[in-house]
A and B are shown apart, each in its own frame.
Chain A
Amino acid sequence: MIRLERRPEPSRLWTGVTPVLAVLLTMIVGGIMFAALGKPPLEAIRTIFWDPLFHPQFAGYSRPQLLVKAGPLILIAIGLSIGFRAGIWNIGAEGQYIMGAVCGAAVGLAFYPADSALLFPLMVVAGALGGWAWAMIPAVLRTKFGTNEILVSLMLVYVAENILASASSGWLRNPEGQGFPGSRNFKQWPAVFNDELVAGTGMHWGVVAAFIAVIAAYVLMARHIQGYNVRLTGEAPRAARFAGVSPVRIVFLCLGISGALAGAAGLFEVTGPAGQVSIDFGSGYGFTAIIVAFLGRLNPFGILLAGLLMALTYIGGELAQLMLGLPGASIQLFQGMLLFFLLATDVFTNYRLRFARRETA
């Protein structure tokens, strides 16, 4: 008989090993799946994990794209991880991301075609505030009426999507766009275009913000009293209350930080890589960031690596579709496996296997 025995405290070794193990298992099972689809498994795995970084033909372009794709994922995931540590489950980062983009873009477009250097920072603030305000709805409802922030924040994603649709086909629509939906393109407006800071690197302000957020989150969680309060609330809510930590304040703090970061990510994306407010602007970063946060073990530096890894599977997955004709759904399945195996192997962090001796009756 094999049984699981709870460890007295989570294993440090396994905490570090499980992400690596999850990636390896994903490669193996994913490879079997690709083989079943009649595609060469090793080549597929190599195309996903190796080619975006080192392929002579593509790498020059796709390496910087890794940062472009990972930037918003990391920025959002950092915000979410703080809440997750406190047991506050903001599932609606996608909505906050969209609202940040819409609010920031609206503020910017109100001044079109101004040429002030102050405009872009103003838009960043408006974007962060937009995301923050959207996250305050579940925060207020939870603290005042005890509603579940998981449901409220998730439902607000769909509301945000409808606001986005109305903005892009209505009040933010490009007046020179011949009636088609979509706002003005920020790429054609140099004063606010969030371009690469150094050409050919993929580094735009959003990526810089993501790196800053990683460091700030580390300092907050490891060195600051509020970070301690957040962790305490998550690990021992009763103890936290006895220690004088106000649960209401923690809810506002966590949802506020994650909303503001998601909103800022949306603003950086809409003024940069995406270029415009359009009906399909929200492309799932807010949801993927949840995976990134857990894959990174809710640790800021782990999230940094996890974001880059996730970006790699996106870009490599696209290459695999292109080069090997793999169906798009198989790539999504592959990414899903990553989270599945992470959660599955995670059991060993908190439990250990015991090969029980047969009890003599």
Chain B
Amino acid sequence: MKRRTLLASAAALSLAAGGAFAQDVPKVGFVYVGPVNDGGWSQHHHESAMKMKEHFGDQIEIVEQESVPEGADAERVLTQMALSGADLIFTTSFGYMDPTINVAEKFPDVKFEHATGYKTADNVSAYSARFYEGRAITGYLAGAMTETNKIGYIGSFPIPEVIRGINSSYLHAAQANPEVEIAVVWLNTWFDPAKEADATQALLDQGADVVLAHTDSTAPLSVLEKAGAYGFGQAADMAEYKPEPRLSSIIDDWAPYYIDRVQALIDGSWESHNVWQGIGDGMVGIGEFTGPIPDDVLSHVTQMKEDIASGAYHPFTGPINKQDGSAWLAEGEVADDGVLAGMDFYVEGVTGEIPN
């Protein structure tokens, strides 16, 4: 209790001080888990923040902090950011969830946006992208392009987002090619070019000729290029690997969302919400289709992209069974967001086990 009053007075102090410095433009903060030039996740948040800043120009001030470890350090960084007078803070990694909630409780006048989590509060929004929509498209392409009927998947951490990606990829690969098999390798990292290259080679050695990655570097594509196999851009377009081995890509684009939310802050219309945006809202971008994709496949994936964007098609539409053969979705039934958010099972046809 004492602690809370102390922090409340600290917050009041900061508001007073913020008023005294009187720059009057809203201050928007960003906290990144990696360096802003990691080539993947953090870089895309940073670039989107920069686009947002460009859009608003001098109307806002922006502060950023990179390479912030998740846990206790994040809590301190967020507190300092709030004390420095930030009005809206984007915390761009899953592990910042509890720290964000804790700090938000102490600073009720500061607004927070947490990426890829599930907890919200009056001044904390959650936002996330439906990457599985993009996985449906790259998965279909992988199924259509494999000649060995075996596709590889480089998993980062065995968390729901990644499991959704594997399931979505497999389901759509099997739509294109019912014979297809998927092999998954887990790396327990989001970014490690050497490990990613090794995993790609291991999957190729097991007979895969298309490899999908859920890690952020370009190392898999560089290995695939040498082997004459196919892959996809992940998080970024990775256009330097056009037209082959890169067939398409899933691009993280947070800029429209950031612009939208900062506008709401300026207008005074900001309210807490929990959104999950996909291809339709522009948060998930699909890179140009390149390489020797047959015309019928090309028209199918183009149509699929439009249908997902318009909401006409949901990548998890029944009938779908779980890996153990038990029924999950009945014919025509669509998965609800709650189950998708916590997905901890493979669908029927995926081999192997989720670690632990």
Contact = CB atoms under 8 A, between A and B. Distances in A.
A178 B342 contact: yes
Which of B72, B95, B117 has the most C-beta atoms of chain A within 10 angstroms of its own C-beta? B72
A179 interface: yes
Interface string A262-303: 000000010011111011110110000000000000000000
A199 B81 CA distance: 21
Contact of B355 (A166, A178, A315): A166
Given A169-B157, A180-B160, A281 B71 contact: yes
Given A278-B95, A318-B65, A179 B159 contact: yes
Interface string A166-202: 1001110100001111100101000000001001100
Interface stretch (A57-65, A230-238, A342-350): A57-65
A185 B95 contact: no
Interface stretch (A35-43, A81-89, A244-252, A319-327): A319-327
A278 B99 CA distance: 13
A275 B2 contact: no
B269 interface: no
A3 to B, nearest CB: 43
Given A180-B118, A274-B72, A327-B66, A199 B98 contact: no
Contact of A280 (B69, B102, B342, B344): B69
Nearest to B82: A61
B94 interface: yes
B188 A162 contact: yes
Contact of A181 (B3, B157, B341): B157
B65 A321 contact: yes
A61 to B, nearest CB: 6
B356 A61 contact: no
Nearest to A283: B69
Given A162-B188, A179-B343, A325-B64, A318 B71 contact: no
A102 to B, nearest CB: 14
Contact of A65 (B76, B84, B342): B76
Interface in A136-173: 162, 165-166, 169-171, 173
Interface in B26-50: 33, 35
Contacts of B71: 273-276, 278, 280-281, 283
A178 B159 CA distance: 10
Contacts of B121: none
B17 interface: yes
Contact of A60 (B3, B10, B76, B341): B10
Contacts of A327: 66
B2 A318 contact: no
A57 B84 contact: yes
Which of A169, A185, A284 has the most C-beta atoms of chain B within 10 angstroms of its own C-beta? A169
Interface string B156-194: 011110000000000000000000000000001000000
B83 A57 contact: yes
Given A165-B157, A274-B72, A57 B17 contact: yes
A325 B36 CA distance: 13
Interface in B1-32: 2-3, 6-7, 10, 13-14, 17
A329 interface: yes
B73 interface: yes
A169 B356 contact: yes
A112 B342 CA distance: 23
A328 interface: yes
B80 interface: yes
Contact of A170 (B17, B63, B73, B355): B355
A279 B13 CA distance: 36
A281 B341 CA distance: 23
B77 interface: yes
Contacts of B299: none
A200 B73 CA distance: 17
A269 B73 CA distance: 11
A68 interface: yes
Contacts of A173: 356
Contacts of A283: 69, 71-73
A280 B72 CA distance: 11
Contacts of A199: 2-3, 6
Given A60-B6, A275-B72, A315-B76, 6 more contacts: A275-B71, A276-B98, A283-B71, A284-B69, A325-B63, A328-B35
Query: What 6 pairs between A and B have smallest CB-CB spacing?
Result: A170-B356, A273-B72, A178-B342, A179-B342, A283-B69, A199-B2
Interface of B: 2-3, 6-7, 10, 13-14, 17, 33, 35, 63-67, 69-73, 75-77, 79-81, 83-84, 94-95, 98, 102, 117-118, 157-160, 188, 341-344, 355-356
8 contacts: A58-B84, A65-B76, A165-B188, A169-B158, A169-B159, A179-B341, A180-B342, A319-B80
